Structure 1
Amino acid sequence: MDDWMRWLVVAGVLVVLELFSGTFYLLMIAIGLGFGAIAALLGMSVPVQVMVAAVVGVVATELLRRSRPPMAVNSESARDPNLNIDIGQTLVVEAWQDRQARVMYRGAPWDVELAKGAADGAGTFRIVEVHGSRLVVAPA
Protein backbone atom coordinates (compact mmCIF):
# COMPACT_ATOMS: atom_id res chain seq x y z
CA MET A 1 0.00 0.00 0.00
CA ASP A 2 1.37 3.40 -0.95
CA ASP A 3 1.86 6.17 1.60
CA TRP A 4 -0.90 8.33 0.16
CA MET A 5 -3.38 5.45 0.56
CA ARG A 6 -2.43 5.04 4.21
CA TRP A 7 -2.99 8.75 4.81
CA LEU A 8 -6.43 8.57 3.19
CA VAL A 9 -7.44 5.43 5.11
CA VAL A 10 -6.57 7.06 8.43
CA ALA A 11 -8.36 10.26 7.33
CA GLY A 12 -11.43 8.18 6.43
CA VAL A 13 -11.39 6.51 9.85
CA LEU A 14 -11.29 9.94 11.49
CA VAL A 15 -14.21 11.13 9.36
CA VAL A 16 -16.24 8.11 10.50
CA LEU A 17 -15.30 8.77 14.14
CA GLU A 18 -16.29 12.40 13.58
CA LEU A 19 -19.79 11.28 12.66
CA PHE A 20 -20.11 9.66 16.09
CA SER A 21 -18.53 12.49 18.10
CA GLY A 22 -20.53 15.43 16.77
CA THR A 23 -17.62 17.88 16.88
CA PHE A 24 -15.68 19.19 13.91
CA TYR A 25 -12.23 18.79 15.44
CA LEU A 26 -11.63 15.27 14.13
CA LEU A 27 -12.71 16.51 10.71
CA MET A 28 -10.05 19.23 10.85
CA ILE A 29 -7.40 16.62 11.69
CA ALA A 30 -8.71 14.47 8.82
CA ILE A 31 -8.23 17.46 6.51
CA GLY A 32 -4.64 17.65 7.70
CA LEU A 33 -4.23 13.94 6.94
CA GLY A 34 -5.65 14.57 3.48
CA PHE A 35 -2.93 17.13 2.90
CA GLY A 36 -0.44 14.52 4.10
CA ALA A 37 -1.77 12.27 1.34
CA ILE A 38 -1.29 15.06 -1.20
CA ALA A 39 2.29 15.50 0.02
CA ALA A 40 2.84 11.75 -0.46
CA LEU A 41 1.42 11.94 -4.00
CA LEU A 42 3.84 14.76 -4.76
CA GLY A 43 6.71 12.45 -3.77
CA MET A 44 7.76 14.20 -0.58
CA SER A 45 9.57 12.25 2.13
CA VAL A 46 7.66 10.75 5.08
CA PRO A 47 8.93 13.36 7.60
CA VAL A 48 7.76 16.15 5.27
CA GLN A 49 4.39 14.42 4.86
CA VAL A 50 4.01 14.24 8.64
CA MET A 51 4.93 17.92 9.00
CA VAL A 52 2.46 18.97 6.30
CA ALA A 53 -0.32 16.92 7.90
CA ALA A 54 0.49 18.28 11.38
CA VAL A 55 0.69 21.93 10.33
CA VAL A 56 -2.51 21.81 8.26
CA GLY A 57 -4.36 19.92 11.02
CA VAL A 58 -3.29 22.39 13.71
CA VAL A 59 -4.08 25.42 11.55
CA ALA A 60 -7.50 24.02 10.58
CA THR A 61 -8.29 23.20 14.22
CA GLU A 62 -7.26 26.68 15.35
CA LEU A 63 -9.34 28.31 12.61
CA LEU A 64 -12.33 26.23 13.68
CA ARG A 65 -11.83 27.23 17.30
CA ARG A 66 -11.64 30.91 16.40
CA SER A 67 -14.65 30.75 14.08
CA ARG A 68 -17.07 30.04 16.90
CA PRO A 69 -19.14 32.99 18.00
CA PRO A 70 -18.18 34.07 21.50
CA MET A 71 -20.40 32.77 24.24
CA ALA A 72 -22.78 35.48 25.31
CA VAL A 73 -21.94 36.44 28.85
CA ASN A 74 -24.92 38.20 30.29
CA SER A 75 -24.40 39.19 33.87
CA GLU A 76 -28.00 40.40 33.86
CA SER A 77 -29.54 37.10 32.76
CA ALA A 78 -31.97 37.26 35.69
CA ARG A 79 -33.43 40.40 34.02
CA ASP A 80 -33.26 39.36 30.36
CA PRO A 81 -36.72 38.78 28.85
CA ASN A 82 -35.09 36.87 25.97
CA LEU A 83 -33.95 34.22 28.43
CA ASN A 84 -36.96 34.12 30.74
CA ILE A 85 -40.55 34.48 29.57
CA ASP A 86 -41.70 35.63 33.02
CA ILE A 87 -39.86 38.96 32.82
CA GLY A 88 -42.40 41.69 32.11
CA GLN A 89 -45.44 39.62 33.10
CA THR A 90 -47.80 40.96 35.74
CA LEU A 91 -49.22 39.46 38.89
CA VAL A 92 -51.41 40.62 41.76
CA VAL A 93 -50.09 40.82 45.32
CA GLU A 94 -52.72 41.04 48.05
CA ALA A 95 -50.43 41.80 51.01
CA TRP A 96 -46.74 42.19 51.82
CA GLN A 97 -44.84 41.04 54.89
CA ASP A 98 -41.30 42.43 55.25
CA ARG A 99 -41.17 43.22 51.50
CA GLN A 100 -41.99 39.59 50.66
CA ALA A 101 -45.16 37.78 49.68
CA ARG A 102 -46.47 34.45 48.44
CA VAL A 103 -48.70 34.58 45.35
CA MET A 104 -50.28 32.26 42.82
CA TYR A 105 -48.64 32.71 39.43
CA ARG A 106 -49.08 30.36 36.46
CA GLY A 107 -51.07 27.98 38.66
CA ALA A 108 -48.42 27.56 41.35
CA PRO A 109 -47.40 29.40 44.52
CA TRP A 110 -44.31 31.61 44.12
CA ASP A 111 -42.21 33.62 46.53
CA VAL A 112 -42.20 37.29 45.57
CA GLU A 113 -40.02 40.12 46.79
CA LEU A 114 -40.04 43.81 46.04
CA ALA A 115 -37.35 45.33 43.88
CA LYS A 116 -35.07 47.88 45.53
CA GLY A 117 -36.75 51.23 45.83
CA ALA A 118 -40.25 49.88 45.14
CA ALA A 119 -43.05 50.74 47.53
CA ASP A 120 -45.06 47.90 49.02
CA GLY A 121 -48.82 47.88 48.84
CA ALA A 122 -51.50 45.64 47.43
CA GLY A 123 -51.93 45.82 43.70
CA THR A 124 -50.60 44.75 40.35
CA PHE A 125 -46.85 44.27 39.96
CA ARG A 126 -44.56 43.59 37.01
CA ILE A 127 -41.86 40.92 37.22
CA VAL A 128 -38.43 42.50 36.71
CA GLU A 129 -36.13 39.63 37.78
CA VAL A 130 -36.27 35.91 38.43
CA HIS A 131 -33.91 34.27 40.93
CA GLY A 132 -34.62 30.55 40.92
CA SER A 133 -38.17 30.23 42.21
CA ARG A 134 -38.26 33.78 43.58
CA LEU A 135 -39.81 36.60 41.56
CA VAL A 136 -38.60 40.18 42.02
CA VAL A 137 -41.35 42.66 41.21
CA ALA A 138 -41.91 46.39 40.85
CA PRO A 139 -45.21 48.29 40.69
CA ALA A 140 -46.82 47.94 37.27
Structure 2
Amino acid sequence: MALNGLIWWIAAGVLIVTELFTGTFYLLMIALGLLAGGIAFAVGLELHVQLGVAALVALVAVVLLRRSRFGSWKRRDASRDTAVNLDIGATVEVAQWHDRRARAMYRGAEWDVELAPGESEGARLYCITALEGSRLVVAAKR
Protein backbone atom coordinates (compact mmCIF):
# COMPACT_ATOMS: atom_id res chain seq x y z
CA MET A 1 0.00 0.00 0.00
CA ALA A 2 2.99 2.33 0.50
CA LEU A 3 3.56 2.20 -3.25
CA ASN A 4 0.19 3.90 -3.82
CA GLY A 5 1.29 6.88 -1.74
CA LEU A 6 4.65 7.04 -3.48
CA ILE A 7 2.93 7.31 -6.85
CA TRP A 8 1.40 10.66 -5.82
CA TRP A 9 4.84 12.09 -5.02
CA ILE A 10 6.54 10.65 -8.12
CA ALA A 11 3.80 11.98 -10.40
CA ALA A 12 4.03 15.41 -8.77
CA GLY A 13 7.82 15.38 -9.19
CA VAL A 14 7.55 14.43 -12.86
CA LEU A 15 5.11 17.29 -13.49
CA ILE A 16 7.32 19.77 -11.64
CA VAL A 17 10.36 18.77 -13.72
CA THR A 18 8.29 18.89 -16.92
CA GLU A 19 7.07 22.36 -15.92
CA LEU A 20 10.66 23.58 -15.93
CA PHE A 21 10.71 22.98 -19.68
CA THR A 22 7.38 24.64 -20.49
CA GLY A 23 7.26 27.71 -18.26
CA THR A 24 3.47 28.02 -18.26
CA PHE A 25 2.79 27.22 -14.57
CA TYR A 26 -0.23 25.04 -15.44
CA LEU A 27 1.62 21.77 -14.85
CA LEU A 28 2.78 23.20 -11.53
CA MET A 29 -0.84 23.76 -10.52
CA ILE A 30 -1.72 20.17 -11.40
CA ALA A 31 1.34 19.03 -9.43
CA LEU A 32 -0.10 20.90 -6.43
CA GLY A 33 -3.21 18.77 -6.80
CA LEU A 34 -1.09 15.62 -6.86
CA LEU A 35 0.75 16.77 -3.74
CA ALA A 36 -2.61 17.28 -2.05
CA GLY A 37 -3.55 13.73 -3.07
CA GLY A 38 -0.30 12.51 -1.51
CA ILE A 39 -1.10 14.35 1.71
CA ALA A 40 -4.60 12.84 1.68
CA PHE A 41 -2.97 9.40 1.37
CA ALA A 42 -0.58 10.15 4.26
CA VAL A 43 -3.54 11.18 6.44
CA GLY A 44 -5.15 7.82 5.68
CA LEU A 45 -8.08 8.82 3.49
CA GLU A 46 -9.53 6.32 1.02
CA LEU A 47 -8.53 6.29 -2.65
CA HIS A 48 -11.71 7.94 -3.96
CA VAL A 49 -11.26 10.78 -1.44
CA GLN A 50 -7.58 11.13 -2.42
CA LEU A 51 -8.57 11.43 -6.07
CA GLY A 52 -11.27 13.97 -5.23
CA VAL A 53 -8.90 16.08 -3.14
CA ALA A 54 -6.26 15.98 -5.89
CA ALA A 55 -8.78 16.95 -8.57
CA LEU A 56 -10.33 19.72 -6.49
CA VAL A 57 -7.00 21.29 -5.50
CA ALA A 58 -5.70 21.08 -9.09
CA LEU A 59 -8.90 22.61 -10.46
CA VAL A 60 -8.92 25.48 -7.97
CA ALA A 61 -5.21 26.13 -8.58
CA VAL A 62 -5.66 26.20 -12.37
CA VAL A 63 -8.67 28.53 -12.12
CA LEU A 64 -6.79 30.88 -9.78
CA LEU A 65 -3.76 30.85 -12.10
CA ARG A 66 -5.95 31.54 -15.11
CA ARG A 67 -7.45 34.59 -13.38
CA SER A 68 -4.06 35.91 -12.29
CA ARG A 69 -1.74 38.04 -14.39
CA PHE A 70 0.51 35.02 -14.98
CA GLY A 71 -2.20 32.90 -16.56
CA SER A 72 -3.64 35.44 -18.94
CA TRP A 73 -0.62 36.51 -20.94
CA LYS A 74 -1.60 38.04 -24.23
CA ARG A 75 0.40 37.51 -27.37
CA ARG A 76 2.16 40.69 -28.32
CA ASP A 77 2.56 41.88 -31.87
CA ALA A 78 6.28 41.21 -32.36
CA SER A 79 6.45 43.70 -35.25
CA ARG A 80 5.82 46.56 -32.79
CA ASP A 81 7.48 45.13 -29.66
CA THR A 82 10.67 46.96 -28.68
CA ALA A 83 11.83 43.93 -26.69
CA VAL A 84 11.86 41.87 -29.89
CA ASN A 85 12.91 44.46 -32.48
CA LEU A 86 15.64 46.75 -31.26
CA ASP A 87 15.28 48.87 -34.43
CA ILE A 88 11.96 50.30 -33.26
CA GLY A 89 12.54 53.89 -32.23
CA ALA A 90 15.60 54.34 -34.47
CA THR A 91 15.79 57.26 -36.89
CA VAL A 92 15.72 56.89 -40.69
CA GLU A 93 16.27 59.63 -43.24
CA VAL A 94 13.97 59.41 -46.26
CA ALA A 95 14.82 61.61 -49.25
CA GLN A 96 11.91 60.92 -51.58
CA TRP A 97 8.50 59.27 -51.30
CA HIS A 98 6.44 57.50 -53.99
CA ASP A 99 2.83 56.78 -52.97
CA ARG A 100 3.69 56.49 -49.24
CA ARG A 101 6.59 54.13 -50.00
CA ALA A 102 10.31 54.74 -50.32
CA ARG A 103 13.77 53.19 -50.20
CA ALA A 104 16.18 54.39 -47.53
CA MET A 105 19.62 53.51 -46.21
CA TYR A 106 19.49 52.07 -42.72
CA ARG A 107 22.28 50.18 -40.95
CA GLY A 108 24.37 50.02 -44.10
CA ALA A 109 21.68 48.52 -46.32
CA GLU A 110 18.81 49.80 -48.41
CA TRP A 111 15.40 49.06 -46.91
CA ASP A 112 11.82 49.36 -48.09
CA VAL A 113 10.07 52.04 -46.05
CA GLU A 114 6.36 52.63 -45.64
CA LEU A 115 4.52 55.43 -43.87
CA ALA A 116 2.44 54.49 -40.85
CA PRO A 117 -1.30 55.17 -41.21
CA GLY A 118 -2.14 58.84 -40.71
CA GLU A 119 1.42 60.07 -41.34
CA SER A 120 2.39 62.56 -44.02
CA GLU A 121 5.33 62.63 -46.40
CA GLY A 122 6.41 66.13 -45.34
CA ALA A 123 9.23 65.30 -42.93
CA ARG A 124 12.78 64.23 -43.72
CA LEU A 125 13.57 62.30 -40.54
CA TYR A 126 11.35 59.44 -39.49
CA CYS A 127 11.16 57.15 -36.48
CA ILE A 128 10.71 53.40 -37.01
CA THR A 129 7.45 52.28 -35.40
CA ALA A 130 7.30 48.68 -36.66
CA LEU A 131 9.03 46.07 -38.80
CA GLU A 132 6.81 44.08 -41.14
CA GLY A 133 9.00 41.48 -42.77
CA SER A 134 11.83 43.42 -44.40
CA ARG A 135 9.84 46.66 -44.52
CA LEU A 136 10.25 49.51 -42.05
CA VAL A 137 7.04 51.26 -41.00
CA VAL A 138 7.86 54.85 -40.02
CA ALA A 139 6.27 57.96 -38.55
CA ALA A 140 7.51 61.53 -38.76
CA LYS A 141 10.07 62.28 -36.07
CA ARG A 142 8.81 64.94 -33.70
Tell me if the contact between 1:7 and 1:33 (Cα under 8 Å) persists in the aligned partners: no
Asked whether the equivalents of residues 8 and 35 of structure 2 are also in contact (C-alpha less than 8 Å), the reply is no
Q: CA RMSD for the aligned pairs?
A: 3.2
Match of 1:14 in 2: 12
Structure-2 change in CA distance of 1:119 and 1:35 (3 Å): closer
Once the two structures are overlaid, the 10-residue window that deviates more, 49-58 or 78-87, is: 78-87
The structure with the largest alpha-carbon Rg is: 1
Aligned partners of 2:80 and 2:131 also within 8 Å:
yes
* Partner residue, 1:66: 67
- Aligned: 1:46 with 2:44: no
| Count of paired positions | 136
**Alignment CA distance shift 1:42-1:72 (3 Å):** closer
Further displaced range: 21-30 or 47-56: 21-30
For 2:12 and 2:126, the matched residues in 1 are separated by 57
What is the TM-score of this pair, normalised by structure 1? Answer: 0.68
Structure 2's unaligned 5+ residue stretches are none
Deviation per CA, 1:97-140: give whole Å up to 9, x if none. Answer: 3332211101221111334341347x333334433322233443
Superposed CA deviations along residues 1-39 of structure 1, whole A, max 9, x for unmatched, are 34xx51233322331343134344444333323333333
> The residue matched to 2:44 in structure 1 has which SS?
coil
Matched-pair contact (CA < 8 Å) for 2:12–2:35: no
Q: Matches of 2:100 and 2:72 in 1, distance apart?
A: 39
